[in-house]
Structure 1
Amino acid sequence: MISIVVPTLGRPSLAILLDALAGQLAELPEVEVLLVDDRRDDTGELAVPGALAAYTKVLRGLAAGPAAARNLGWREARGGWVVFLDDDVVPSPDWARRLRNDLRVADRVGGVQGVVVVPPPAGRRPTDWERGTAGLAEGRWITADMAYRRAALAAVGGFDERFPRAYREDAELAHRVRLAGWDLVRGRRRVTHPVRPESRWVSLRNQRGNADDALLRRLYGRTWRSQLDLPGGRRSRHVAVTAAGAVALAGLALRAVHRHHCRRRVLGVVAGVSALGWAAGTAEFARVRVLPGPRTRDEVLTMLVTSALIPPLAVARWVGGWWRIRAVPAGALVTADRPATTDGPAPRRARTTEAA
């Protein structure tokens, strides 16, 4: 049996995903669909197409994030293979057939990733947000469409629920699966991941992921990026720019209260040099974000403002993440016999309802 697990917040895109699956599941010999309703409020039952009703269970999640929702799903699953799909992807018309072929792999293979296609905007360059979403097409072992053997998930204890966002939790799981001796491979099935509309300030909200990076640094040490096959970041530059800005402000403040002429002059020079360093770093960051984009007035303005705000916000999120996980022992990885929760108790079982 194949189990398809879809954690969802009830977004409109879920209906598109379920409609795309409805006409295909008959091609799979044995299959079940587990929808994990992770909404915080009880706003009614999720709508399941009639063609999917016979295959589908709805599980009520704990509103604890996608890692916890996926854990509830795979633990309820009966299949030897568990396929994780995000609720904002659209499977291709031959997705089920290709999935069946993808899962015909050697016993040592513990996971098979699908191909994720992000459609580019028509007739213009992509915005910063659109480029970020397009990066999913190059992502490794992302759960937009990722199949795992249930045995591999059980062997490593599933997703680490200390990652509360859809960020890094899939790469971290894949790393532990490989550490446990399983191979991960790429398949040929395809899903489309449309770019959803977002606020122009979404890049500021996304800085919350720095707290998750702090946890990865705690768990895997200084080489966490290379171990998890993650691209390099800009944290060192953000720290430098933030420090320059802080020194400039502090220098100006101290200069304003000092009466000694020589000290005022020294503080003025320090503040001026630091301000130039802050301005140069901010300008460089804005440049690399503006040049690939559409360069419209709104986009350029958004990039200028957010390029000034992101470095200190990223540093603050990183420091906050370090503070929150200060009690986590270094290298405290989730294993089959160690719960995937921060506080110790094993996750509760989901309440299960049959789809109407």
Structure 2
Amino acid sequence: MTVPAPPPDRLPDGFAVRLAPGTQCRDGGTTLLGGSPFRMLRLAPAAQALLAGDRLEVTDARTAALAARLLDTGVADPELPPAPFPEVTVVVPVRDRTDGLARLLAALRADPGTAGCPVVVVDDGSADPAAVAAVAAGARLLRHPVARGPAAARNAGLRVAGTELVAFVDSDCVPEPGWLEVLAGHLSDPRVALVAPRITALPAGASGWVARYESLSSALDMGTTPARVAPLTTVSYVPSAALLARRAALRGGFDETMPVAEDVDLVWRLAGAGWRVRLEPSARVAHDHRVEPAAWLRRRAFYGTGAALLAQRHGAAVAPVVISPWSAAAWALALTGTPVGVLAAGGVLGRASWQLAGRLAAPGDRPPVRLAAGLVLRGTAASGRTLARSVTRHHWPLAAAAALVSRRARWLVAGVAVADAVSGWRPLRQEIDLPTFAAGRRLEDLAYGAGLWLGALRARDPRALLPAAPPPVSPPRQPTR
């Protein structure tokens, strides 16, 4: 499936961007380090003069080009202008969940930003269509006699929408007031196709250990930091539980052949066509998480099966481990546990640092060896965390098989499992105890990994299990002159 190319329109005058948290200014402001994937941008003197401090406002074609470059590399985030209530059609796919539908529609009517918006409810083969129709009174109701899946339901609503903007909200969600106005601020950028809020746990949800774990570590919660969304970045996708979209960008809509991961596929198709996709966590939508243990684990396994479908469409973008060859070699040598192996790993990292320094050096300048070494060590540490996560999540069947035949592997797997649980728990230690978090983490990873392998076996395609190399660290570039 294809999506249309974004319009050639530049960012409008008055649009402003600000350097993202974590972006470093070096060399007196001539060099920017940051973004995802990590990049190094060297500003020409004219560009440096345009970027006053950490903020840039668009006033002409030059500032628009620089602001666009900063956005597309992830080193800057947009400042959201005040947005009036957007003209938007709200599309709600539902199947049998009448209580949730009633709760959602009541929340939409109570929010001044959505109270007057047209609402399209798409009944995707509910067992009791009359009950859905009764709850949906006042909204436009479409019905699929037989369930066709959430992608088909959303597409049905998209086709009848009469507004430029379309919001998709699942029937187990409750948006916070004002969420649409916040998201709509991003649409002042003509190349933004899709923007997503943060998905949080419904405050009045069920109690129990799964509920406590899910409220802090849900797969739907993409975090608290605004981000560019694209494959192989820190935020590689956003869930379709709640989205605001530009209808013109969604020509063709969601892939109806995908029972799962259709939201990831849409995001990646949009990014591939040149559109921008954003996560805006200051807008929040609460979600009624599954908290019954068996249902929760089945859902995690179901999510895992989607990786094989994504691999068929997007190849290495779905790789569970992204690691450079030199990082892989360094870790393989270090894990031998021998002095020779450790020394050889240091040699590999030293050579990688020297090569990177040569690529980063500006013409006529000395290679920035210290900077390159820091980047190599940072990348090696990140790849180590990725490998450790893979042991307990994506590739746990291989780790379990190794542990059965090797005492050394048993100790290594056990140590990784404990370290992973502790590192994930530490930022949340004021809100959840370690045993509960560790149990949730390990069970969730086992379920997801089982679904990942099951999906790959069904598809007879191993690409969802294979590692990939990261995009190269960008050499210095001058985004404008």
TM-score band, normalised by the shorter chain?
Answer: 0.5 to 0.7
- State which of 158, 176, 181 in structure 1 corresponds to 2:274: 181
Q: CA 1:223–1:149 in structure 2 vs 1: closer, same or farther (change >3 Å)?
A: closer
Q: Give the distance between the partners of 2:221 and 2:302, measured in 1 at CA.
A: 18
The one of 294, 306, 311 aligned to 1:217? 311
Structure 1 residue identity aligned to 2:253: G
Q: Residue 124 of structure 2 corresponds to which residue in structure 1?
A: 38
Match of 2:221 in 1: 135
- 3-state secondary structure, aligned to 1:160: coil
Per the TM alignment, residue 63 of structure 1 is displaced from its structure 2 partner at its CA by: 2.4
Q: How does 1:218-233 map to 2 (within 5 A)?
A: 218-224=312-318
Q: Deviations over 1:100-133 (max 9, x none)?
A: 95486254432343455557799x9983222223
Is contact 1:111-1:148 (8 Å) kept?
A: yes
* 1:160 maps to 2:255: yes
Offset, 1:214:
2.2
CA contact (8 A) 1:110 1:177 kept: yes
Provide closer, same or farther for how the CA distance between residues 46 and 301 of structure 1 changes in structure 2, counting only shifts above 3 A. same
Q: After TM superposition, list the pairs within 5 Å mapping 1:85-124 onto structure 2.
A: 85-95=169-179, 98=181, 102=185, 105-114=188-197, 116=199, 118=201
> Structure 1: which 5+ runs fail to align?
250-269, 331-356
Please state how far the C-alpha of 1:181 moved relative to its aligned partner. Answer: 3.2
Give the letter aligned to residue 81 of structure 1. Answer: L
Task: Note if contact 1:112-1:146 (Cα within 8 Å) is conserved in structure 2.
Answer: yes
CA deviations over 1:312-338 (Å, ceiling 9, x no partner):
x544422321233348999xxxxxxxx
Alpha-carbon separation, structure 2, partners of 1:283 and 1:222: 29
Following superposition, the deviation at residue 172 of structure 1 comes to 2.2
1:89–1:191 Cα contact (<8 Å) kept: no
1:20 aligns to 2:107 (yes or no)? yes
CA distance in 1, matches of 2:462, 2:257: 10
> Counterpart of 1:152 in structure 2: which amino acid?
A
| Aligned mates of 1:196, 1:308 — CA distance in 2 | 16
1:172-228 Cα distance to aligned partner (Å, 9 max, x none): 2122123223333466984431454512355532122222112223322223369xx
> What's the secondary structure of 1:192's corresponding residue?
strand
Q: Which has the higher contact order (CA 8 A, sep 6+)?
A: 1
SS of 1:73's equivalent? helix
CA distance in 2, matches of 1:62, 1:80: 29
Tell me: CA distance 1:179–1:310, structure 2 relative to 1, closer, same or farther (3 Å).
closer
Separation of aligned partners in 2, 1:216 and 1:26: 35
Q: 1:136 to 1:89 in 2, by over 3 A?
A: farther
Secondary structure in 1 matching 2:221: helix
**Does 1:71 pair with 2:155?**
yes
Q: Distance in 1 between matches of 2:250 and 2:186?
A: 16
Q: Whole-Å Cα distance in 2 between the matches of residues 308 and 54 of structure 1?
A: 43
TM-score by length of 2: 0.49
The amino acid of 1:89's aligned partner reads: C
Q: 1:275 to 1:214 in 2, by over 3 A?
A: same
- Structure 1 residues 113 and 271: CA distance shift in structure 2, 3 A: closer
C-alpha distance in 1 between matches for 2:273 and 2:131: 38
Count of aligned pairs: 293
Shift of 1:46: 1.1
Counterpart check, 1:322 vs 2:407: no
Distance 2:423 2:192 in 1: 39
CA RMSD of aligned residues (A): 4.3
* Superposed displacement of residue 41, structure 1: 2.6
Q: Is the 8 A contact 2:150 2:259 kept in 1?
A: yes
Does the CA contact (< 8 Å) of 2:271 and 2:277 recur in 1?
yes
* Pair 1:106–1:131, CA change in 2 (3 A): closer
Q: 1:220 to 1:195 in 2, by over 3 A?
A: same
Counterparts of 1:53 and 1:149, CA distance in 2: 27
- Preserved contact between residue 9 and residue 38 of structure 1 (Cα < 8 Å): yes
Three-state SS of the structure 2 residue aligned to 1:5 is strand
Q: Which amino acid aligns with 1:164?
A: P
Residues 259-338 of structure 1 mapped to structure 2, 5 A cutoff: 270-288=405-423, 292=428, 294-295=432-433, 299=436, 302-303=439-440, 307=442, 310-311=445-446, 313-326=447-460
8 Å contact from structure 1 (residues 28, 100) kept in 2:
no
The letter for the 2-side match of 1:18 is L
Mapped to 2, the partners of 1:131 and 1:189 lie a distance apart of 17
Q: Which amino acid aligns with 2:401?
A: A
The alpha carbon displacement at 1:161 in A equals 2.9
Contact in 1 for aligned 2:123/2:141 (Cα 8 Å): no
Q: Give deviations 1:140-190, integer Å, cap 9, x for gaps.
A: 543333222222111xx211234323xx42232122123223333466984
